[in-house]
Structure formats: structure tokens, C-alpha cells
Amino acid sequence: MSLDYDVFVVDPKPIPSAVPGFGEAVGPATWPPSTSTLISDDDSALLIDCLITEPEARKLAAWIRSHDRDPGYVYITHPHADHFLGLPEILAAFPEARPVALAEAIPAMEEQISPGYMKVWGGFFPGQLTAGPVAPKPLTGSTIAVGSSAATVIPVGTTDTGHSSVVHVPRLDLVVSGDVVYNQTHMWLAGSTPDSRASWLRALDAVAGLEAGTVIAGHRNPQAADDDARRQIGECRRYLADFEAALERSSTPAQLIEQMTAAYPGLANPYTLWVAAYDLLGTPTR
């Protein structure tokens, strides 16, 4: 067997809505469609990110098993629990796998699995989350061996959260981008600032500089035409610029939602946009 990759895709999942009017205007609130990527070679493999709920992580483990390569490592791209609460299920299936992440990302990952945060995550997915969340350990160096090849971890700073990173596999012309690049899915901009959005643009430049042909986004629209790197990076740059301009012109959440929906009618998970709009422009009522 030669070096290869495969992508496990999870459709949008229903969650309780926390923004007024979403259900009436759009429909049930959902969590974005998500991916987990397996890089495999000879007799080993590297899993990148591992989803959030127990049922989907169990399905992911069965899918990995069908590839007949046990992961030596599980790399977590950034400190958002929807990319690593599935870890206990993966480690139960593959006890030899070593969960790793950027050392500087680990305190934020530990915060994500603190009792307070777990309560928040549990509110999105009641009864579906692990009772024993696990944080990864610090990665030593910046490469992860996969058989006779190597994947390189590249820190890119703040995107939809701090301490984000991507995984570059030059021999596959591939970048696994976590949440740095989104594929035809509304980008998570709740809690963002002009600085964080500028940082996200620099991170996209860093991914573009790798000149890979394929990007596997952590959140990928099931209807997306392909995983073309140039298209996705261009679309994400444009989305951030359009969001910045629309935010500038808006004084209410509805105005921002209206402009972005008109510009991006087909993107997956409009709930993400609504949350951002109410977070950045809503009148605090709590």
C-alpha cells in the first residue's frame, strides 16, 4: 500500500437554537457538517481530528478499522471541542494511538473539557458526549511519521480560535486544515474581532503559500463540488472581506444576516452566521 488519505464526513446535527427567530426564518438550528481525515501508509496511519459526539466517534473508529491501518497518532488541529471530544472512543478502539497537539494549544484544550465548558457543550448535544473527556499531549517537533512518509504540522495562529494549525502532507499535495479553511460552510465568526479576522486572513495566506492542490476542511458542505485548495482559500478570503464590510454597514443582527445571506445563499449551516450576528451586534439581554 502506498501513501493515501480518506475523509470521514458527518452531516449537520440538530442543536437547540439560542438566537431569536432562526427557527421561523430558516428551520432547525444545526451544528456544521464536520470531517475527520485519515492519512495512511504501509502499516501505519495518522488520524486528524476526531469529531464530538460518542455515536459519531464510534462510527469513525469503525471506519478507521475498515482501512486496516491502526493510527499511531491522532493529531488535533485546534482547541475547539467539536474536533476532539470523540478522542476517548478512538483511544478505546486504538489504545496504541497517541493523541497530540501543539503544546501551546493544550491549555485551551484543557479549558474546553473543564466542567463548565462541558456543561455548555452538553447543552448542544445532551446525552451524546463522553463523560471522560481527554486532552491531547504536546507534540514533540513539527513532523509526524506516517509509515515511510511524514506530515508536517504548521502553526498559523488565530483563526476561528487561538492556536490553530494545519497539517501538510507534501507527497499527497494535501493540507488538512482544521478550521483555518472552510469548504462552502459559514465561517465561525462569533467572538471575532478586527484583529482576529485579520489574523485569519494571514493564516489563509500561510496555507496558500504551501501550494497544495487539495485542502480538506474541518467543516465541509456535503454538497461542495470538490476539495480544491485554490477555490476554497479564495472563497474564505472573500467571505472574511465581505463579512467585514457587511459588519461595518450594519447596526443590527438582521442587517448583517440579510447582507451575508444574499451574498452566500448556498453555504452550509446558516445558524453559524446568525450566532455571529447576534454575538457581534445583538443587544445584550442577559
* Distance of closest approach, residue 179 Cβ to Zn ion, in angstroms: 4
**Closer to Zn ion by Cβ: residue 79 or 218:** 218
Least distance to Zn ion, CB of residue 286, Å: 24
Site mask for Zn ion (CB under 5 A), range 52-91, x = bound: ----------------------------x-x---------
CB of 16 to Zn ion, least distance (A): 18
Closer to Zn ion by Cβ: residue 41 or 82: 82
179 interacts with Zn ion by CB under 5 A: yes
Do 165 and 78 contact (CB within 8 A), yes or no? yes
Which residue's CB is nearer to Zn ion, number 89 or number 179?
179
> In whole angstroms, how close is the CB of 248 to Zn ion at the nearest point?
26
By beta-carbon proximity to Zn ion, the closer residue of 76 and 146 is: 76
H or E element that contains 262:
helix 253-263
CA angle 38, 13, 222 (to 5 degrees): 55
Query: How many C-beta atoms lie closer than 10 Å to residue 283's C-beta?
Result: 7
Residue 49 engages Zn ion in binding (rule: CB under 5 A): no
State the nearest-atom distance from the C-beta of 149 to Zn ion, in Å.
26
The CB-nearest residue to Zn ion is 179
Which amino acid is it at 15?
Answer: I
Sign of CA dihedral 157, 163, 164, 167: positive
Chain-centroid distance, C-alpha 136: 16
- The pairing of strands 98-101 and 71-75 is parallel
What are the distances in angstroms from CA 14 to CA 28, 53, 57?
7, 12, 17
Contact footprint for Zn ion (CB under 5 A): 80, 82, 179, 218
